[in-house]
Structure 1
Amino acid sequence: MYQRILDEVDVGVHAVDETGKTIIYNKKMMQMEAMDSQDVMNKNLLDVFMFKEDQSSTLVKALQEGKVTSNVKQTYFNNKGREITTLNNTIPIFENDQIQGAVEIAHDVTKLERLIKGNINRNGALRFTFDSIIGGSAAITDVIENAKRATRTSSYVLIVGETGTGKELFAQSIHNGSNRFSGPYISQNCAALPDNLIESLLFGTKRGAFTGAIDQPGLFEQANGGTLLLDEINSLNLNLQAKLLRVLQEKTIRRVGDTKDTPVDVRVIANMNEDPIDAITNNRLRKDLYYRLGVVTVFIPPLRDRKEDIPLLVKNFISKYNELFQMEVKGLSDEVKQSFEEYDWHGNVRELEHIIEAAMNIMMDDEATIMYSHLPFQYRSKMHVKDRVTPVFSIDTFLKDQGTFTAPLKEKMDLFEKSYIESVLRKNNYNISKSAILLGLSRQSLQYRMKKLNITIE
């Protein structure tokens, strides 16, 4: 019955005698440490487990010092070299004032540690710098230059771009180019976890805040001195956005269940995959948070607005997968090149890479050119399909209205573009989003063109 009770409790129990030999090792402890009872029982603790140089066994410490320790985090390795992290309460056992052994009650926090460590990168582990961004078009080089300027300060940055445009790449590049490059870089997708967990993960928890809560630093504390990337910031509920705004303004955090504030020095970079104005209008983003985050705003253009970069991107992806797959693919057929030019690339650069990778997976070893037949079926079925805007007036009518054929081509092109955009705006009652869709542009690109051409909405 004694053994059954030990095996039923949902905490690890590990006890040693005065020599450090294991005398109790329950089922939960076996699960946490991925060990069998026979590997541990009646063996000296230090003969079975390995500890980091800067840490010692909390059980051995209890034997040596005779002190009770509470909520001590310990990371060590089992007999197969697997890393284990536990939160321990360790108690020395006395009899007639002599230490007869020690018992440890352990909570498994290995998964939480891996989640946090999986988000934390030091400068040596980050893959991307501005040199990693491929493209020579004006659309992307202007964005790169603006992002490079953001490396000079620690102001908050908002990166806006459709899915697959490379927001993470820009965020890492900004961090690596800043004076925080040697500090931690933490990336957290705000849509990946439920609200109650994301709050604890961001701000940390105080022991006793809720059942099972332990003293645990959040990602803001983990990122102290470095950069915290919050991906899909618009997926946070509005209450969490209000708490985040407080942290950004006061530069302090308060753990869940705590009453004291802790100062933090963190540069926050936030990502969004939709227009901030649309998010605010649809109550997915607080206006005050947008103004606080958007001190520096980087709009990454979609691939359809920089199609001249496709050849460079294709060359890079072919080179990448040639090395991975041990192939010697040289390029694309003319038909594939044309279809790439016609396609709208709703999945952006990521979609282009996936198409190249998929095509190279089905090519024969002796084939050197990606043919149209190599492309995945789901893309071939829509590659040549492109919605085109029906002209609302003819070129002849436009030229007749202008009344002269002596102006330079660029001047006429600008006039035509301005007239065309104004006509589409009128047709859609000056709705920017609807007009952008009809023109095949992103909302940001349309607003950029309107500003350049001095188009105003009355």
Structure 2
Amino acid sequence: MYLRIPYIDRVGIVHDITLILAKRETNIISMEVQEGIVFLECQDVLQDQRIEFVEELSSISGVQEIVEISFMPSKGRAEQLEAILTSVQDGILAVNQDSIITQCNPAAVRMLKLSAQQVPGQPLGSTLFKNLLIQETLQTGCQHNNREVFIASDHGYCVVNTIPLRNKCDDVIGVIAVIRDTHDVRNLMRSMTTSLPMTFADIPFVSPVMEEVLGQARRYAASDSTILINGETGTGKELFARALHSASRRAKAAFVPINCAAIPDTLLESELFGYTEGAFTGAVKGGKPGLFELANGGTLFLDEVGDVSAHLQVKLLRVLQEQRVRRVGSNKEVAIDVRIIAATNRNLEDMVSDKTFREDLFYRLNVIPLLIPPLRERFEDIRLLSEIFLKRFAEKLQRSVMRFSPLALQRLEGYNWPGNVRELKNIIERAVNLVDGEEVQSEHIFLGRLSGSTAAPTLVQFETYQTLEERLGEIERVILQQTSLRFRSSRRMGAVLGLSHTAVLKKMRKYELPLS
């Protein structure tokens, strides 16, 4: 039976209540006294005696009323606290100065792999007592904020906050540890910082060769196997890597890119594998997770993997084989689940032959090869990409330019594009900055010094030709020969030279030039 008894404060009111219960031989189970209210839990009173019992309590001087309630306030608070602790995803662990667990929610039980015998009332294991910084907080009274520590959890590391509990004399009598799974922390960071995902639909093309490559890539995305993307600089290898990730079952997890050629070898190891506190001079307090850990459950993109040193090639091979990673300066290994997408503009097979790239690592990376064609081999896409970049930069730079002149387009389509799509993008941005009107002219297109530039075509040193037709024929032969080196089909050559593909074939046969 639970009762709520509001009263006017006076000395002895609790004594009077207990006297009545003692007189009636009714056992008091618990009593809570707040300012102006007594909450009473006692054994049940028979129904026919309840009215008399209530009237007797009501007759006590100062008692305002007797209200029957469903539970004691302490029980309500305990149930509310239990509901809160159960609902939060962070682990919450309270320990007293004797390392006895006084509070522990289900998340902490799961993350710390506690047994049923280690629920409140039992001592916390000495390893966790130390690793969770609880021992240090008890000894020093200092709290720790967002410290990454190693525990035997699913992900190896967790983020811990410790709060010392003090009595009225300011002595530390316990510690509350708030434990957060690093996987959850990284998911939160990713949701707040990542840009919109890149998909295959975001890769523009009209050329048959790109249609075939994208068809291959879509099939590869469904697999979890390692992919090695080959392609010249500027062809969009990272774009394909992001699209592969977005189309995979890992799309909701992290995509972590790193350019292996842009980071010195001494730093690349700690970036990939992470490090522990004190591993080297300048190491961040508490250590730092590596990119393999950050990409756990998702995709790690190793761009320019051909530039990785021999030392790191060995460590990289070990991670790929064992799916476990060890931080620099640590003897603890963490299991990871990461899909690797690697990319390079170098010929790794030649590097294997030259003993500059490990053969076993090459085979580990080259499970599924994907070749991205250079822009000069996808002639049909030059106009499409140029118009897309023109519109994008016109909006960005707030210019009124709307189109290319025929000569400007002919100039773009006649260039060899050694820098591929990246070079095209930069040249269009430059042109938009130079245009005053609505149309990009030929003089606004500044190409490189490589083939296709404004330099005069190479001429043959003539000796004893008698007629103009013979001289023009030799120049025509040189032009066809140079064009065939840049554009590998008669249709592309014809589009550049203003001829039909049959006319190109006829002239090639006339001058006995090879057809590709």
Per the normalisation by structure 1, the TM-score is 0.60
Tell me, yes or no, if the aligned pair for 1:181 and 1:226 is still in contact at 8 Å. Answer: yes
Corresponding position: 1:227 with 2:277: no
Task: Quote the residue 1:175 is aligned against.
Answer: 245
- After TM superposition, the structure 1 stretch with the greater mean CA deviation from structure 2, 280-289 or 382-391, is 382-391
Corresponding position: 1:343 with 2:343: no
Task: Quote the residue 1:270 is aligned against.
Answer: 342
Q: Give the direction of change, closer, same or farther, for the CA distance of 1:146–1:336 in structure 2 (3 Å limit).
A: same
Tell me, yes or no, if the aligned pair for 2:235 and 2:421 is still in contact at 8 Å. Answer: yes
Corresponding position: 1:159 with 2:233: no
Q: Secondary structure at the match of 2:380?
A: helix
- After TM superposition, the structure 1 stretch with the greater mean CA deviation from structure 2, 65-74 or 227-236, is 65-74
What percent of counterpart residues are identical?
40
Aligned pairs (5 A) from 1:41-120: 67-68=141-142, 72-73=146-147, 98=170
Q: Give the direction of change, closer, same or farther, for the CA distance of 1:284–1:329 in structure 2 (3 Å limit).
A: farther
Task: Quote the residue 1:280 is aligned against.
Answer: 352
Cα deviation, 1:71-130, whole Å, max 9, x if unaligned, reads 8439xxxxxxxxxxxx99999899996359xxxxxxxxxxxxxxx99x967896244211
Residue number among 177, 188, 191 corresponding to 2:261 in the alignment: 191
Which residues of structure 1 form unaligned runs of 5+? 1-52, 57-61, 75-86, 101-115, 393-408, 423-448, 450-458
Q: Secondary structure at the match of 1:315?
A: helix
Q: Matched residues in 1 for 2:403 and 2:415: separation?
A: 18
Cα deviation, 1:294-325, whole Å, max 9, x if unaligned, reads 11111111111111111111111111112212
Task: Quote the residue 1:19 is aligned against.
Answer: none
- After TM superposition, the structure 1 stretch with the greater mean CA deviation from structure 2, 187-196 or 162-171, is 187-196
Task: Quote the residue 2:117 is aligned against.
Answer: none
Q: Matched residues in 1 for 2:439 and 2:449: separation?
A: 18
Q: Matched residues in 1 for 2:376 and 2:451: separation?
A: 19
Aligned pairs (5 A) from 1:370-449: 370-376=440-446, 383-385=453-455
Task: Quote the residue 1:40 is aligned against.
Answer: none
Give the superposition deviation at 1:332. Answer: 1.5
Task: Quote the residue 2:372 is aligned against.
Answer: 300
Aligned pairs (5 A) from 1:240-255: 240-255=312-327
Give the superposition deviation at 1:377. Answer: 7.1
- After TM superposition, the structure 1 stretch with the greater mean CA deviation from structure 2, 272-281 or 287-296, is 272-281
Give the superposition deviation at 1:287. Answer: 1.9
| CA-based RMSD | 4.2
Q: Give the direction of change, closer, same or farther, for the CA distance of 1:251–1:377 in structure 2 (3 Å limit).
A: closer
Q: Matched residues in 2 for 1:317 and 1:206: separation?
A: 45
Q: Matched residues in 2 for 1:123 and 1:142: separation?
A: 33
Give the superposition deviation at 1:268. Answer: 0.8
Q: Give the direction of change, closer, same or farther, for the CA distance of 1:258–1:124 in structure 2 (3 Å limit).
A: closer
Q: Secondary structure at the match of 1:244?
A: helix
Cα deviation, 1:5-57, whole Å, max 9, x if unaligned, reads xxxxxxxxxxxxxxxxxxxxxxxxxxxxxxxxxxxxxxxxxxxxxxxx9899x
Residue number among 271, 277, 296 corresponding to 1:207 in the alignment: 277
Q: Matched residues in 2 for 1:122 and 1:379: separation?
A: 43
Give the superposition deviation at 1:167. Answer: 0.6
Q: Matched residues in 1 for 2:418 and 2:360: separation?
A: 30
Give the superposition deviation at 1:381. Answer: 10
Q: Give the direction of change, closer, same or farther, for the CA distance of 1:140–1:258 in structure 2 (3 Å limit).
A: same
Tell me, yes or no, if the aligned pair for 2:138 and 2:164 is still in contact at 8 Å. Answer: no
Q: Give the direction of change, closer, same or farther, for the CA distance of 1:284–1:344 in structure 2 (3 Å limit).
A: farther
Q: Matched residues in 2 for 1:95 and 1:372: separation?
A: 82
Structure with larger Rg: 2
Residue number among 392, 396, 413 corresponding to 1:324 in the alignment: 396
Cα deviation, 1:132-158, whole Å, max 9, x if unaligned, reads 111111221111111111111111111
Q: Matched residues in 1 for 2:445 and 2:479: separation?
A: 27
Q: Give the direction of change, closer, same or farther, for the CA distance of 1:353–1:344 in structure 2 (3 Å limit).
A: same
Q: Matched residues in 1 for 2:327 and 2:138: separation?
A: 34
Task: Quote the residue 2:49 is aligned against.
Answer: none
Q: Matched residues in 2 for 1:261 and 1:283: separation?
A: 30
Structure 2 residue identity aligned to 1:73: R
Cα deviation, 1:217-262, whole Å, max 9, x if unaligned, reads 1110110110011111111101101110111111111111222321
Q: Give the direction of change, closer, same or farther, for the CA distance of 1:194–1:209 in structure 2 (3 Å limit).
A: same
Which residues of structure 2 form unaligned runs of 5+? 1-88, 93-135, 149-158, 173-185, 459-477, 483-501
Q: Secondary structure at the match of 1:253?
A: strand
Q: Matched residues in 2 for 1:421 and 1:197: separation?
A: 50
Relative contact order higher in (CA < 8 Å, ≥ 6 apart): 1
Tell me, yes or no, if the aligned pair for 2:416 and 2:452 is still in contact at 8 Å. Answer: no
Tell me, yes or no, if the aligned pair for 2:407 and 2:441 is still in contact at 8 Å. Answer: yes
Q: Matched residues in 2 for 1:154 and 1:121: separation?
A: 23
Q: Give the direction of change, closer, same or farther, for the CA distance of 1:243–1:120 in structure 2 (3 Å limit).
A: farther
Residue number among 272, 288, 300 corresponding to 1:216 in the alignment: 288
Q: Matched residues in 1 for 2:357 and 2:209: separation?
A: 27
Give the superposition deviation at 1:289. Answer: 1.3
Structure 2 residue identity aligned to 1:307: F
Task: Quote the residue 1:112 is aligned against.
Answer: none
Task: Quote the residue 1:237 is aligned against.
Answer: 309
Give the superposition deviation at 1:363. Answer: 1.2
Tell me, yes or no, if the aligned pair for 1:342 and 1:384 is still in contact at 8 Å. Answer: no
Q: Matched residues in 1 for 2:225 and 2:269: separation?
A: 23
Q: Secondary structure at the match of 1:73?
A: strand
Q: Give the direction of change, closer, same or farther, for the CA distance of 1:246–1:312 in structure 2 (3 Å limit).
A: same
Give the superposition deviation at 1:277. Answer: 2.1
Structure 2 residue identity aligned to 1:343: Y
Tell me, yes or no, if the aligned pair for 2:296 and 2:336 is still in contact at 8 Å. Answer: yes
Give the superposition deviation at 1:352. Answer: 0.7
Q: Matched residues in 2 for 1:360 and 1:177: separation?
A: 34
Q: Secondary structure at the match of 1:256?
A: coil
Per the normalisation by structure 2, the TM-score is 0.54
